[in-house]
Amino acid sequence: MSTPRTFRYYEFVMVAFVVILVCSNLIGPAKIAQVDAGWIGPLTFGAGVLFFPISYVFGDILTEVYGYARSRRVIWTGFAALAFASFMAWVVVALPPAPFWSNQAAYETAFGTTWRISLASLIAFSCGEFVNSFVLAKMKIWTAGKHLWSRTIGSTIFGEGVDSLLFYPLAFWGTGIIPDDKLPAVMLAQFLAKVGVEVAFTPVTYKIIAWLKRAEGVDHYDRDTQFTPWSLKV
């Protein structure tokens, strides 16, 4: 039985992915921001959009350099970290506050995400990331490793599309938090913003991928990979 190859920087990329993912779901959702976009007018968005698309950048890096199987392990690691953080946020919010502590309402606003939103986030994240990784791995074979930009952006379009299509209806449909008739516009705006972040980061993604391939001495092609998400094998 052959021993799986070890890499110098794989764990660092994994940690960066998980940290960004947890931050995007714990720091970002509680704040709705609005910026003046000049002639376009004011843009309103959840602050998590600043974090979450970067996880797709790291997902692209993982699949492009190390392959789908190792990216799959990172996705499940992120899923477990996000589930644990969501559960512990619920536990801490539910703890009875001390009589002299007057910040419970603010704490609930910042960290009191409902079970429905947390569950929707977990489902949408895992489905979107697996689609992103699968599409990039397949496109790498179809393009013979050329035109990296087409893979990073193309896979993000599919991955973020699945994420947005799942998250907003599962989290908000029928709740009144976002009117049902406004959901398609919100989904489209968030989708475009996330893809825009991927496009903006393309030069940085190119440099990181090129550096990692040289440093690790690897450029993985998933020609014989089993693409089931229900495995941790590499």
Q: Which residue has the tokens 């790498």?
A: 140
24: Cβ contacts below 8 Å, ≥ 6 apart: 48, 50, 51, 52, 54, 55
Q: What percentage of the chain reaches a pLDDT higher than 70? A: 95
Sorting pLDDT into bands at 50, 70 and 90, what band is 193? confident
The answer to whether residue 174 sits within a structural domain is: yes
The answer to whether residue 225 sits within a structural domain is: no
> What does the pLDDT read at residue 45?
67
> What does the pLDDT read at residue 36?
81
Q: Which of 93-102, 177-186, 224-233 has the lowest mean pLDDT?
A: 177-186
> What does the pLDDT read at residue 194?
85
Q: Once rounded to an integer, what is the mean pLDDT over residues 206-217?
A: 96
> What does the pLDDT read at residue 1?
52
Residues 105-143 have pLDDT tens digits of: 888 877 877 788 889 889 999 999 999 999 999 999 999
Q: What is the CATH number of the domain that holds 191?
A: 1.10.1760
Number of domains present in the structure of the chain: 1
Q: Once rounded to an integer, what is the mean pLDDT over residues 149-169?
A: 94
Tokens coding 226: 């089993």
12 has a pLDDT exceeding 60: yes
The answer to whether residue 126 sits within a structural domain is: yes
88 has a pLDDT exceeding 80: yes
CA-to-CA distance for 209 and 97, rounded, in angstroms? 47
CA-to-CA distance for 217 and 211, rounded, in angstroms? 10
> What does the pLDDT read at residue 6?
87
The answer to whether residue 88 sits within a structural domain is: yes
Range of the domain at 174: 10-95+102-216
CA-to-CA distance for 109 and 204, rounded, in angstroms? 35
Residues 24-63 have pLDDT tens digits of: 877 766 666 777 877 777 766 667 777 788 899 999 999 9
Helices (H), 143-228: 148-172, 183-200, 202-216
Sorting pLDDT into bands at 50, 70 and 90, what band is 234? confident
> What does the pLDDT read at residue 3?
67
The answer to whether residue 229 sits within a structural domain is: no
5 has a pLDDT exceeding 90: no
> What does the pLDDT read at residue 67?
97
The answer to whether residue 226 sits within a structural domain is: no
